[in-house]
Amino acid sequence: MDELEGFSFTPKVKKEEKQVKKKKKNSGGFQSMGLSLGVLNGITKRGYKFPTPIQRKTIPYILEGRDVVAMAKTGSGKTAAFLIPLFERLKQRKESGSPRGVILSPTRELAIQTYKFIKDLGRFLNLKTVLILGGDSMDHQFSAIHTNPDVLVATPGRFLHVCVEMNLKLTDVSYVVFDEADRLFEMGFGEQLTEILHRLPHSKQMVMFSATLPRIMVDFAKAGLTDPVLIRLDVESKLPEALELKYLYCRSEERYSALLTLLKHVIPEDAQTVVFAGTQHHVEFISMLLTKVGISSTFVYSNLDPSARKINTAKFQNKKASVLVVTDVAARGIDIPNLDYVINFYFPGKPKLFIPLALNFSMTFLCLFLSAFITSL
């Protein structure tokens, strides 16, 4: 466990850490965590045999009721790390009252993934979960909330909107998760998160999972969490050894022609390729170019209509298009296994922007366009 600027640990906390570590030394699997049968059955059915490092570090603290800020790389098992304690806390359906668990995600794609994971991992528990996402019908969401769900999985803007419009009482909420918390703040949800925090009961437990720890998130955690435990494990600072990097140097004005050359003459026709572009304008323009030269493509960006975004993502996942053009922000939360190639149309400005995106895809080859160094030649 590491200390980070903005977080301090009292002697009492350090003593508790040692006690938890001592317990964990004598444990090897989920069975030793004291989980109920329904939760264990879901874990077994999912095929999990042993906790991942982040699960082994965080679950005991969360089960104790502690507020936790955890830093771990994409694919480390963080979703199960916050869902297993949620299931253990709620256990069974409660027919009346307000929701007891709230999970906030930065994008609708990530929220949908989490919702599906809840249904799978929690299949032996009779818990009702509802999705609250921007772009979906408000009337349907109002009706869904009136069914008294146990868990809400939501994006912050729409969740706050629903809370205001319905005058939704959150008095029964006991467990709150900020998933990919760094992205929540980087995408400008800080004010909404603060307002949501004020609507929650003081007795709730809060868990934040993140790839990085930006200053705004540190300040929020210090103000909103109670004596939080900071767990920093395998932070996203390294790329997988199997990942091959290639750099293509070109002038700025040759960037588009270089991209078309790669896709037409270098990358195999049946390969799946993601192209990262900086803005919605770049995404739309690149997609138009690809269509004109006969390359099957689709695109996704944050402001795209949710229905169109879902259709376009599925088109690529089902291999009906060989190229997906996407903005960096919209890419977070899109799950595309066994990806062949990734092209960064612009060199990422910061490692913390590039590395989480790289780790979010199972790629074998990565192209980066670098032009700034030779533009003046």
* pLDDT for 336 beyond 70: no
Quick check: 1 pLDDT over 60? Answer: no
Candidate from 74-78, 186-190, 373-377 with smallest mean pLDDT: 373-377
**What global pTM score does this model have?**
0.67
Label residue 23 by pLDDT band (50, 70, 90). very low
42, 145: one domain: yes
Structural domain includes residue 376: no
Give the domain range for residue 143. Answer: 29-232
3-state secondary structure of 212: coil
What 3-state class would DSSP assign to 238?
A: coil
DSSP 269-323: TT--EEEEESSHHHHHHHHHHHHHTT--EEEE-TTS-HHHHHHHHHHHHTTS-SE
User: Concatenated DSSP letters for 128-179?
Assistant: -EEEE-TTS-HHHHHHHHTT--SEEEE-HHHHHHHHHHHT---TT--EEEET
For residues 112 and 214, membership in a common domain is answered with yes
| Span 139-161, pLDDT tens digits | 999 999 999 999 999 999 999 99
- Of all residues in the chain, what percent are helix, strand and coil, respectively (each to 5)? 45, 15, 40
pLDDT for position 3: 45
In a shared domain, residues 55 and 195 = yes
CB 199 within 8 A of CB 125: no
Per-residue confidence at 18, pLDDT binned at 50, 70, 90? very low
Higher pLDDT, 197 or 14: 197
Q: Which residues of 105-139 are buried (b: 16+ CB within 10 A; e: fewer)?
A: bbbbbbbbbbbeebeebbebbebebbbbbbebeee
- Of 232, 260, 276, the one marking the end of a domain is 232
Express each pLDDT in 178-213 by its tens digit. 999 988 998 889 999 999 999 999 999 999 998 888
What is the tens place of the pLDDT at every residue in 281-307? 999 999 999 999 999 999 988 777 767
Residue 220 and residue 283 in one domain? no
Examine the domain organization and report whether 137 and 218 are in the same domain. yes
Question: Is 296 within the bounds of a domain?
Answer: yes
**Is residue 377 included in any domain, yes or no?**
no
Give the range with max mean pLDDT: 80-89, 274-283, 336-345.
80-89
Q: Do both 100 and 138 map to the same domain?
A: yes
pLDDT for res 152:
98
Asked whether residue 2 carries a pLDDT value surpassing 50, the answer given is: no
Q: Residue 5 domain-assigned? A: no
> Closest Cα to residue 67, out of 226, 232, 193?
226
Residue 365 β-bridge partners = 244, 341
Q: What CATH number is attached to the domain comprising 187?
A: 3.40.50.300
Mean pLDDT within 245-264: 85
- Residue 156, phi then psi, degrees to nearest 5: -60, -45
pLDDT tens for each residue of 85-115: 999 999 888 877 789 999 999 988 889 989 9
For range 48-67, the mean pLDDT: 93
Q: How many domains does the chain have?
A: 2
The SS3 assignment for 254 reads: helix
CA-closest candidate to residue 357, choices 243, 189, 250, 214: 243
Q: How confident is the model at residue 27 (pLDDT cuts 50, 70, 90)?
A: very low
Percent of the chain with pLDDT over 70: 78
The residue out of 204, 232, 260 marking a domain boundary is 232
Statement: residue 360 has pLDDT above 60 = no
> Which range is most confident: 22-36, 67-81, 357-371?
67-81
- Residue 357 lies inside a defined structural domain of this protein: yes
Answer with the one of 232, 262, 292 that is the final residue of a domain. 232
Question: What's the mean per-residue pLDDT of the chain?
Answer: 82
